[in-house]
Amino acid sequence: MPAFASFVISPKGELVHLARLGRFLAPYRWRLGGALAALVVAASCVLALGQGLRKVIDAGFGSGDPHLLNAALAAVVAVSVVLACATWVRFYLMMSVGERVIADLRKAVFGHVLTLSPAFFESARTGEIGSRLTNDSEQLRQVIGFGFSMFLRNALMMSGALVLLFATSLKLAALIVLGVPATLVPILLMGRRVRRLSRLNQDRVADVSAHIDESLHEVRTVQAYVQEERTHERFAEATEAAYAAGVHRVRVKAWLISLVMLIGFCAVGVILWIGGHDVLAGRLTAGELSAFVFYAAVVASGAGTVSEVWGEIQRAAGATERLLELLDVRPALAVAAPPLRLPRRVTGAIRFDEVVFAYPTRPEATALGPVSFTIDPGERVALVGPSGAGKSTVFALILRFYDPLSGRILVDGADIRHCDPYDLRRAIAVVPQDPVIFAASVTQNVRFGRPAATFDAVREACAAAHALEFIERLPQGFDTDLGERGVKLSGGQRQRISIARALLADRPILLLDEATSSLDAESERQVAAALERLARGRTTLVIAHRLATVRHADRIIVMDRSRIHAVGTHQELLRADGLYAHLARLQFFAAGVQ
């Protein structure tokens, strides 16, 4: 289940979700006010046409004077022009506000998601988050820009038409009033069901988006294992589930709309029949009956439109709920009191003090600890050991992607629980084992480490990472788009771009996670020399599986089963004849290295 699956709000407050959009609408209240004024003008023009119809029939046709017809036509044209202008203003203001609010909401949600810790993304599917930011916000955009104004416009015209109905004939108006509750019954009974089905439909669409995201990102693995057919079948199942949910929602909504229209127009037919008898009996003029039927039609069509838009508003409430669930997720990492501010340039002293940690998704399994060690400023320390020993967990804790369950992690003597994660991470450069390359140019990828860097600085960093030789062979050189996840580069080339990014960042703490693992022998020698220069004067932690890359580290911390097994230099650990010596025999001696 997604990490935010528990944030389900009771249907009782379904419209409360829409009310929470108030803070996004508030900056545009003057535009909304203008749209509301235009809406009132447009509704008034429609209602005025009914009175014009009554006068034309009673005065124009009754008098036989063509001048009255000419005047009536001129009045209709004038009212129509005002109606068209007011409609344009209302439509433009509401639609532009809808576009602006959705843009603001998307930025707010996406910005908030970026602040959430990796623990959130261990259980949340990125495809579903993307669906909420796109599909759900698009549904909401339609309602804010168009649905709300249509709802208000028709509700206003219905109210005005009811007033004029009573002014025309109390008896017939009373029949209309009795018919209105009949149109509200299906809205009340089926509206909530439409909302629940809308939420279900949106969840199934999110499943489709998540499947697309996962399958296309890992398409090479899918093809390598010849799983195209199975992957397509799973996608087809998710698509059919979304289709079934959508059709169910449409079926219920179709019943809602058709029932409201049936009740409304049957009521108009009955009223027309009764009113016709009143005209024949002289109790009502033909013009008054025409105006009455006009206003009754306004009420009936308004009720149909309101019921239809109400279904969209119900759906938008579900979309808003899903978006605001993301905003309601609180970051797991908070700055503990009293807050501490790291110096602008830290020295790089790191200390683990009896640190114990378990990943939130696996709380029963201790991933690290208790672990204690100290790294002096400028020292180069290697972390070695079998897979699952806790090496990468040490990196994650230093970056404060997680907080330990107990114990302390100190940087320059400050407990990082009391430090802003942004301040802490600005002091750290990372070269991961699996290099991250964005779908952007070489320059933009390297500048990710320091966006304000000059091109000369970017080029110098690439030269130090021994990346110039392949960059200059690319079609557009430094301006070449590297494709999604760097698909246009080899593994070693991606790694060198990642190293250039860390070189350009120029930060006092350097974390290297098998930074040379994807390079051939010659490139590894060149990059190792570049990293040697980069490490000077910096605190450097290196995760290494190939022990040859860390033989000259100041110290080597050997980890096993989430704890520290031994600490020492390469020669000291060999003499100790422990786990490190066993690993060394497997690697060095087999290759004839002493």
40: closest CA among 96, 89, 76? 89
CB atoms within 10 A of CB 307: 25
Supply the CATH number for residue 312's domain.
Answer: 1.20.1560.10
186 and 313 co-located in one domain: yes
Question: At which of 268, 303, 328 does a domain end?
Answer: 328
20 and 96 co-located in one domain: yes
140 and 216 co-located in one domain: yes
478: closest CA among 518, 444, 523? 444
How deeply is 355 buried, as exposed, middle or buried, from its count of CB atoms within 10 A (0-12, 13-18, 19+)?
Answer: buried
What per-residue confidence (pLDDT) applies to 65?
Answer: 63
485 in any annotated domain:
no
563: closest CA among 386, 409, 350? 386
464 in any annotated domain:
no
What per-residue confidence (pLDDT) applies to 3?
Answer: 40
323 and 371 co-located in one domain: no
220 and 301 co-located in one domain: yes
533 in any annotated domain:
no
310 in any annotated domain:
yes
Would you give the DSSP letter of residue 550?
A: G
135 in any annotated domain:
yes
**Domain limits for position 65:** 11-328
* Tokens, residue 223: 């093809």
What per-residue confidence (pLDDT) applies to 481?
Answer: 86
Answer whether the bond into residue 370 is a cis peptide, omega within 30°.
yes
> Which residue type is seen at 105?
L
* Tokens, residue 366: 């201790």
94 and 219 co-located in one domain: yes
What per-residue confidence (pLDDT) applies to 352?
Answer: 93
295 and 351 co-located in one domain: no
pLDDT < 70 regions, the chain: 1-17, 58-66, 69, 176, 179-192, 194-195, 199, 213-214, 216-226, 264, 268, 304, 307, 311, 515-524, 526-527, 530, 533, 588-594
500 in any annotated domain:
no
* Tokens, residue 292: 């009455």
How deeply is 581 buried, as exposed, middle or buried, from its count of CB atoms within 10 A (0-12, 13-18, 19+)?
Answer: middle
In which order are the strands placed within the sheet that holds 406-411?
A: 368-375, 350-357, 406-411, 414-415
381 and 243 co-located in one domain: no
288 and 373 co-located in one domain: no
With beta carbons less than 8 A apart as the criterion, state whether 165 and 296 touch: yes
How deeply is 521 buried, as exposed, middle or buried, from its count of CB atoms within 10 A (0-12, 13-18, 19+)?
Answer: exposed
32 and 98 co-located in one domain: yes
What per-residue confidence (pLDDT) applies to 180?
Answer: 63
> Which residue type is seen at 32?
L
The DSSP result for 490-501, as a single string, is -HHHHHHHHHHH
Query: Could you tell me whether strands 539-543 and 380-384 are parallel, antiparallel, or unpaired per DSSP bridges?
Result: parallel
Backbone angles phi, psi at 328, to 5 degrees: -80, -15
521 in any annotated domain:
no
Supply the CATH number for residue 594's domain.
Answer: 3.40.50.300
Question: At which of 265, 294, 328 does a domain end?
Answer: 328
With beta carbons less than 8 A apart as the criterion, state whether 393 and 367 touch: yes
What per-residue confidence (pLDDT) applies to 515?
Answer: 67
319 and 357 co-located in one domain: no
Long-range interactions of 516-524: CB distance < 8 A, separation 24+: 516/549, 517/433, 517/545, 517/546, 518/435, 518/491, 518/492, 518/494, 519/492, 519/495, 520/492, 523/466, 523/492, 523/496
324 and 349 co-located in one domain: no
433 in any annotated domain:
no
How deeply is 456 buried, as exposed, middle or buried, from its count of CB atoms within 10 A (0-12, 13-18, 19+)?
Answer: exposed
Distance CA 407, CA 117 (A): 20
* Number of structural domains in the chain: 2
Question: At which of 302, 328, 354 does a domain end?
Answer: 328
CB atoms within 10 A of CB 94: 26
Answer whether the bond into residue 508 is a cis peptide, omega within 30°.
no
Report the predicted TM-score, pTM, of the whole model to 2 decimal places: 0.70
- Beta bridge partners, 481, equal 441
SS3 430: strand
Tally of helices (H runs) and strands (E runs) in the chain: 22, 10
